[in-house]
Amino acid sequence: MSSDKVRIAVVGAAGAFGMKHLDGLANIPDAEVTVVSGTKPEPTQAVADKYGVPTAVVGYDAVLERDDVDAVILATPTGLHASQTQAALAAGKHVQVEIPLADSLADAEATLAAAEASDRVTMVGHTRRFNPSHQWVHQKITAGDFAVQQMDVQTFFFRRTNTNAKGEPRSWTDHLLWHHAAHTVDLFAYQTGRIVQANAIQGPIHPELGIAMDMSIQLKAETGAICTLSLSFNNDGPFGTFFRYIGDTGTYIARYDDLVNGKEEPIDVSQVTVSMNGIELQDREFVAAIREGREPNSSVRQVFDCYRVLGMLEEQLA
Give the per-residue SS3 of 243-304.
EEEEECCCEEEEECCEEEECCCCEECCCCCCCCCCHHHHHHHHHHHHHHHCCCCCCEHHHHH
307 domain-assigned: no
Spatial contact of 71 and 94, defined as CB atoms under 8 Å apart: yes
Instruction: Verify that 10 and 94 share a domain, yes or no.
Output: yes
The pTM score is 0.94
Instruction: Verify that 62 and 170 share a domain, yes or no.
Output: no
Instruction: Mark the ranges of the chain whose per-residue pLDDT is less than 50.
Output: 1-2
305 domain-assigned: no
Q: Which of 35, 46, 29 is nearest to 9 (CA)?
A: 35
Distance set, CA 40 to CA 18, 47, 142 (Å): 14, 11, 46
* Domain tally, the chain: 2
State which H helix or E strand residue 74 sits in: strand 71-74
Check residue 158 and give its pLDDT.
Answer: 81
Span 10-31, pLDDT tens digits: 999 999 999 999 999 999 999 9
Check residue 3 and give its pLDDT.
Answer: 54
Q: Of how many residues is the chain composed? A: 318
Check residue 1 and give its pLDDT.
Answer: 44
Q: Which of 82, 10, 49 is nearest to 286 (CA)?
A: 10
Radius of gyration of the chain (CA): 19
CA distance 52 to 25: 12
- Expressed as residue numbers, the domain containing 173 is 131-272
What's the CATH number where 200 sits?
3.30.360.10
User: What mean pLDDT value characterizes the chain?
Assistant: 94
CA distance 299 to 284: 14
Rounded to 5 degrees, φ, ψ at 51 are -100, 5
Instruction: Verify that 137 and 170 share a domain, yes or no.
Output: yes
What's the CATH number where 292 sits?
3.40.50.720
Instruction: Verify that 119 and 182 share a domain, yes or no.
Output: no
Span 104-139, pLDDT tens digits: 999 999 999 999 999 999 999 999 999 999 999 999
Instruction: Verify that 141 and 182 share a domain, yes or no.
Output: yes
How many helices and strands in the chain, by DSSP H and E?
9, 14
Instruction: Verify that 118 and 11 share a domain, yes or no.
Output: yes
CA distance 17 to 45: 17
CB atoms within 10 A of CB 26: 13
Spatial contact of 101 and 108, defined as CB atoms under 8 Å apart: yes
CA distance 296 to 225: 26
Instruction: Verify that 40 and 81 share a domain, yes or no.
Output: yes
Instruction: Verify that 112 and 145 share a domain, yes or no.
Output: no
